[in-house]
Every structure is written in C-alpha cells, then in structure tokens.
C-alpha cells in the first residue's frame, strides 16, 4: 500500500516537473519570441508611411483649379485639419480601445478566432484601427491567416515607431470611402462639397459609416442604409460619452445636403492645360531627381481663369456643328506664361492636345520669320518685287515650282514687302527666300525655335513643314516681347507635401536673350498690323479685313491657310494668342463656316480679354522713323496719291522722292512750276 502511494506521488511529482518544464519552456519561448520580434522590429526600422496623394493645381492667383492622381484620389490632411467629430466617430465604431492597446486587441481576436473555427474559415475580423491602417498601407484585403499575421506584424511595428495620433491620422487619410475617394478630405469634398475640418457631427457620422461597405453604405448609393448606419455610430458615440444625448438627437434630425454633382463639375477646369502643366512639372522635378508620381505636390500654374473662360466661350460660339477641330493658346509676352489653352473641342471625347501634340503645316504664318531674315539682309518694308505669275527652277534646273495665291490671282505690278504681308502674297515670299537664301532662313527659324525642316526647298517659304501651334505662338510672342527670347511655360512654382518650395520660376528676373533687334522687330510688327488695313487690298483683300470692324485695340497678326488648315496668330505688346482649325485626319476645308471660324475665335478672345483696358502701342525704337508712304510707288505720299499709309523703317531707308511731281496743294510743286517759266516776273 505504501509502495503504491509512493509510486503515485512520484508520478504526480514527475508530471508536475514536466508541466513546470513545459510552462517554463513555453514562457521562455514566448519571451524569446517577443524579444526576437522586438529586435526584428528595431532592426527593420519604422515602416514607411508613404501613400499616393493628390497633387493640387492652382491658377496664377492661387485658386484651386484641379488635381492629379496616380492611382488613388487622395488629399492628405493632418488631424488638426479634420473635424473633431471624425476622430470621435471612427474610434467609437472601429476601435473603442484604440488609445489603450498596443496595436492588437486580444479579447476581440480571441472572439473572432472562435467564430472562425466554428465557421471553418476566416469570416470575422477583429482588426484594430492600427491593423486596418497597416492593411491599407502594405497588404491586400484577402481573407487569410497569412495576411492576418502580416497585418499584426505591421501593426506592431507601427505602434513601436509612431504615436496614436499619427496612426489615426494615417488611417483617416488612407481608408476608402467609395466612388474613387481615399481619405476623409477627398470624401468630404465629394459628398458634402466642403473640407473635412468643416464637417458637422451628422456629416462626420455619415462619412464614418461608409468604409464598412462603400457599395452599400454610400449615401449616394443607398441613403436609407447610410442613414441607419449613421444612427448606429451616433448611438455608440453617445454610449461611450464622446457626445451628449442632445447632440445625438440633433445630429439624427439634421437634413444632410449631398454635393457630389457640384464636385464633379469643378473637375473640368482647363483639362488640356492641366495635362501640359503636369508634363512640364514632371520634367522640372525629374531635373531635380524627384519623382512626380509621389504625389502631394502643390503646383501653381500660369492659368488665368478669365482668359480660359474667354477662350472656351469663343470656341463654343464659333465652331460649326461638324467634326472640325480646334486649338487655342495664349501667352504673356516677356515671361511666356501660358494664360489659356484649349486643345480640342471636347476633352472627354479626345484628350489629344492639338496645341502641343498636333503637327500641321503652318502656311503663311511662317512668313514673318522669313521676312525677319529679309530685314537683316537688306530688305525694307518698301522693297518692291515683281509678283506676277512665276515659275521657279531648282535642283540645278531639273525641277520647277509654280506657287499660286489663295484665290489663284496675281498682281500686275511690283509690290512692297509691307503690302505682301498684308495680303499674304506667295510669289513675294518665294522670291524673298530665293534672294535671301536658305541658310539665312534656317538660321532665323532656329533663333525663333520654329521647325522648317532641313531640306532646301522653295516651298518652305509658304509653311509646308509641319510644326505645332505651341511653337508658332511662342515665335510670335518673341515679336510681342520686342525680339527677346521667350519660352512658353505653365508653371509658377512647385511645393512638396510639406509645403517646401521645390521650384520657383524666376525666368522673369533674368535678362532675356535677343532673337531679333528691337528695330527690326518693331518694323516687322508694324507691317503685321497691315493685315487689318484696307489700303493694302489689291487683287486679294488684306487678310484680316473681315474682323477689322470688331477691333477696338491695336493688333499685329498673320493668318495662314493650307488645304486642310486655318491659322491666325497675333498679339498686343503684352499678350499673344494663336488659333488653329482643321480636321484630325487632314480632311480638306471646303465649307465657308469651317474657314471663317478661326479669325472669329481669335478676335472674340482678344476683344474679351482687352475689354475696358487702354489701348497699347508697340514701343518704337529711336532709330526707327514713321513716314506716310504712297503704297503703289513706295515714295513719300502727297495728297495726289490716294493709297497712303504710315510705314515704319530705319531712318536711313526713308525715301526722299515724292509720289507725284505735281500736287495742286503742295507749295514745293508750285515753286518748281514757276521756276520752269521763262518769265522772271512770275518767278517770285
């Protein structure tokens, strides 16, 4: 008996020692595991909190005009920039012990595990806010034990390196609220048309209910279910003491106004312009070894909302009801700041930007570049050429070229450069190129940064080499800038997500490079005002006569046309604007309304943006002189010569001979007349 008792005692002692050993081993393993986990976490360091953020576009006056997103629409805001009700609501419904636990709520985990075991799969979650934030940052939403383990590991790392408010802020900025909205700021703007800091208790509770199931609890999808969910959250907040019963009751009775429609409407401001600005900003940041896809940038642009509105309204008013396409761009002289840009009729239908991407033949809009070269090579506004029908021989006599004018007619007299620009005579342009030479034209085109190709072909004088409206308008902007180099830009400054200025456009402060002398620029500019003057009309009218009656300001411009393109580019001393119209597939322009829209769009815009402003005169250099000239002869005008115009040229080029040897109102004429008489009595 004693022996059996002893054996039982030995067995109990053995089991106790074994259990104790197992307990110590298990405890040691847990401690070692936690130590190893802690060491791993310390070695791994703080997990990055980088998430895609929206980049914000501002206009020249710092008004918000648009956003750019990589994959997710998100605006990052701090907890201080959120309504306090949001913080209270999300803690109440998602994780009431958030500020007490270390990232994992073991009581909730145990309950969820039991439910999952009974169901035979992963059906119920017990994720804390920290775990959800970790999932949003690093993991998928797959329901598996592996994902849950990784989620717990990331949650622990977050809790080690970041405080609770940082984690809550991150969660509220990453959670999905449906309709492509990530984070409370994007969701608040979308649903309620306001910033997250301005949300009421009722709005905050409604918004907090959406992430549980955006396709179910979005108030836009199902207002009844969203409202029921809102009431559940308000009750939890009251039960936990976050709000009073009176606040709960008032919030439940508040009538919410959804603003998603108005939010969508605000996203359509100058989409073609914003594409150009995004591309330019991307290149700027790339030059600084920064990646624009990180998001969170605040990009202040050069867009002038009034100019953009005027451009869009002009296009809408004058484009015919067919498939004709359009492109419009305006830019400030001196700085090259793009103030408005329309890349096509409808961005939603086609985002192809016809300002920057479409390469078309510029036609006669290339001629001012050619005539700039001519002015540097001895030509003056009163250089006369025979512009009758001409066949040119080239390629060492093996080929011929017979240019035509738009209406198929030719002048039966010599013509000055000033008149040739006004009526866009093609024979004059080709003869000028033949006399000035290809080298001078290529060199001038390079200075104006305009593509005219590399081949020496006489047809390039008529704009047969394709280029973009962006390039051509900037070339004219150089003329508006008194011959000083300009580069088109859409960017004023770029700030990062922390508000640090990464780039600031300081080109305006730099001394510009001279492309063309101020004297020749002014002479050329004044000749370009001639397209609106009927005194130059000949076998063909001056090309801008059709819009002359609508002009209240002084403009210099040049039109251009091909079988499939219509152009007009012009400027004042402070602003340049260019318009192109044509068909995307190069279809010929045969309808009158197709060819008429270009000039109407241009003058509509220029008059709209200059309305109520004082007329600007182009600045005349001191060595340039204006004289009234007889257009037909190129001599000084008298009252006997009906076709007169004020023409500007170098002082050395001013003619001395008058257009008529007999003018009944001219005293010199009568003096000469009496001197010719043989009777000395009459000479005095």
**Which residues are catalytically annotated?**
94, 364
Adjacent-strand bridge partners of 342: 328
Token pair listed for 277: 């600005």
Q: Reduced to 3 states, what is the DSSP secondary structure of residue 265?
A: helix
Show Cβ contacts of residue 532 under 8 Å, excluding neighbours closer than 6 positions: 542, 544, 545, 547, 548, 551, 555, 557
Task: Give one DSSP letter per residue of 359-380, joined into a string.
Answer: -B--GGGGHHHHHHHHHTTT--
Buried (b) or exposed (e) across 451-486, using 16+ Cβ within 10 A? bbeeeebbbbbbbbbebbbbbbbbbbbbbbbbbbbb
What 8-state DSSP symbol labels residue 142? Answer: -
In terms of phi and psi (left: phi > 0; alpha: psi -120 to 50; beta: otherwise), the region of 649 is beta
Task: Give one DSSP letter per residue of 462-515, joined into a string.
Answer: G--S-B-HHHHHHHHHHHHTTTB----B-EEEEE-TTS-EEEE--GGGSPPPBS
Per the document, the length of the chain is: 684
Euclidean distance between CA atoms 530 and 523, whole angstroms: 12
What 8-state DSSP symbol labels residue 82? Answer: S
Judge whether 573 and 483 are in contact, CB under 8 Å.
no
Euclidean distance between CA atoms 137 and 419, whole angstroms: 69
Euclidean distance between CA atoms 310 and 324, whole angstroms: 20
Show Cβ contacts of residue 680 under 8 Å, excluding neighbours closer than 6 positions: none
Euclidean distance between CA atoms 416 and 45, whole angstroms: 78
Judge whether 78 and 160 are in contact, CB under 8 Å.
no
Q: Reduced to 3 states, what is the DSSP secondary structure of residue 56?
A: strand
What 8-state DSSP symbol labels residue 620? Answer: P
Judge whether 76 and 84 are in contact, CB under 8 Å.
no
Q: Is 683 exposed, middle or buried (0-12, 13-18, 19+ CB in 10 A)?
A: exposed
Task: Give one DSSP letter per residue of 200-249, joined into a string.
Answer: -HHHHHHHHHGGG-HHHH-TTT-HHHHHHHHHHHHHHHHHTTSS-HHHHH
Judge whether 69 and 52 are in contact, CB under 8 Å.
yes
Query: Closest Cα partner for 175 from 231, 230, 213?
Result: 213
CA angle 345/349/351 to nearest 5° reads 75
Cα four-point dihedral sign 377, 378, 380, 384: negative
Show Cβ contacts of residue 223 under 8 Å, excluding neighbours closer than 6 positions: none
Q: Reduced to 3 states, what is the DSSP secondary structure of residue 535?
A: helix
């Amino acid at each position: 008996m004693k022996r059996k008792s002893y054996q039982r005692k030995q067995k109990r002692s053995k089991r106790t020692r074994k259990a104790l050993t197992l307990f110590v081993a298990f405890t040691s393993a847990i401690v070692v595991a936690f130590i190893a986990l802690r060491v791993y976490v310390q070695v791994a360091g703080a997990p990055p909190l980088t998430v895609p953020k929206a980049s914000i576009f501002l206009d020249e006056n710092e008004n918000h005009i648009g956003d750019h997103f990589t994959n997710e629409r998100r605006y990052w805001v701090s907890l201080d920039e959120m309504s306090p009700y949001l913080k209270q609501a999300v803690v109440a419904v998602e994780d009431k012990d958030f500020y007490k636990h270390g990232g994992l709520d073991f009581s909730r985990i145990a309950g969820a595990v039991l439910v999952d075991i009974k169901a035979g799969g992963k059906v119920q979650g017990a994720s804390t806010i920290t775990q959800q934030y970790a999932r949003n940052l690093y993991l998928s939403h797959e329901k598996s034990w592996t994902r849950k383990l990784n989620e717990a590991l990331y949650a622990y790392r977050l809790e080690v390196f970041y405080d609770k408010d940082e984690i809550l802020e991150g969660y509220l900025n990453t959670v999905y609220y449906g309709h492509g909205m990530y984070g409370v700021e994007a969701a608040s703007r979308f649903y309620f048309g306001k910033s997250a800091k301005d949300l009421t208790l009722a709005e905050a509770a409604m918004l907090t209910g959406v992430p549980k199931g955006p396709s179910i609890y979005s108030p836009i999808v199902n207002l009844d279910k969203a409202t029921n969910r809102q009431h559940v959250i308000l009750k939890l907040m009251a039960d936990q003491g976050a709000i009073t019963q009176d606040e709960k009751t008032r919030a439940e009775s508040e009538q919410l106004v959804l603003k998603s429609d108005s939010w969508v409407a605000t996203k359509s401001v100058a989409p073609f312009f914003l594409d150009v600005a995004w591309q330019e900003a991307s290149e700027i940041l790339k030059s600084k070894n920064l990646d624009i896809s990180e998001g969170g940038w605040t990009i202040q642009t050069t867009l002038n909302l009034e100019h953009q509105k005027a451009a869009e309204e002009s296009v809408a008013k004058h484009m015919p009801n067919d498939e004709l396409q359009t492109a419009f761009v305006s830019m400030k002289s001196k700085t090259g700041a793009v103030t408005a840009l329309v890349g096509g009729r409808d961005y939603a239908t086609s985002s192809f930007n016809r300002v920057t991407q479409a390469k078309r033949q510029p036609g006669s809009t290339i001629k001012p570049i050619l005539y700039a070269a001519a002015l540097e090579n001895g030509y003056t506004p009163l250089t006369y050429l025979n512009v009758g029908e001409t066949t040119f021989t080239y390629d060492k006599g093996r080929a011929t070229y017979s240019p035509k004018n738009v209406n198929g007619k030719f002048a039966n007299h010599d013509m000055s450069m000033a008149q040739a620009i006004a009526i866009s005579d093609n024979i004059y342009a080709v003869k000028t190129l033949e006399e000035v030479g290809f080298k001078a034209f290529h060199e001038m085109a390079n200075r104006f940064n305009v593509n005219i190709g590399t081949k020496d072909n006489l047809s390039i004088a008529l704009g047969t080499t394709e280029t973009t409206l962006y390039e051509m308008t900037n070339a004219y902007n150089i003329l508006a800038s008194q011959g000083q180099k300009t580069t088109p830009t859409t960017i004023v400054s770029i700030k990062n997500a922390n508000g640090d200025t990464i780039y600031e456009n300081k080109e305006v402060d730099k001394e510009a490079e001279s492309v063309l002398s101020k004297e020749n620029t002014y002479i050329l500019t004044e000749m370009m005002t001639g397209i609106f003057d009927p005194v130059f009309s000949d076998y063909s009218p001056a090309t801008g006569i059709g819009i002359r009656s609508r002009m209240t300001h002084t403009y210099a411009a040049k039109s251009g046309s091909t079988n499939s393109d219509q152009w007009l580019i012009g400027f004042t001393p402070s602003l340049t604007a260019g318009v192109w119209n044509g068909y995307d597939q190069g279809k010929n322009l045969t309808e009158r309304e197709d060819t008429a829209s270009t000039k109407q769009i241009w003058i509509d815009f220029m008059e709209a943006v200059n309305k109520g402003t004082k007329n600007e005169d182009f600045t005349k250099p001191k060595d340039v002189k204006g004289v009234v000239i007889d257009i037909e002869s190129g001599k000084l005008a008298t009252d006997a010569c009906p076709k007169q115009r004020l023409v500007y040229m170098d002082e050395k080029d001013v003619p001395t001979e008058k257009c008529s040897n007999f003018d009944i109102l001219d005293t010199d004429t009568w003096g000469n007349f009496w001197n010719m008489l043989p009777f000395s009595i009459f000479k005095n």
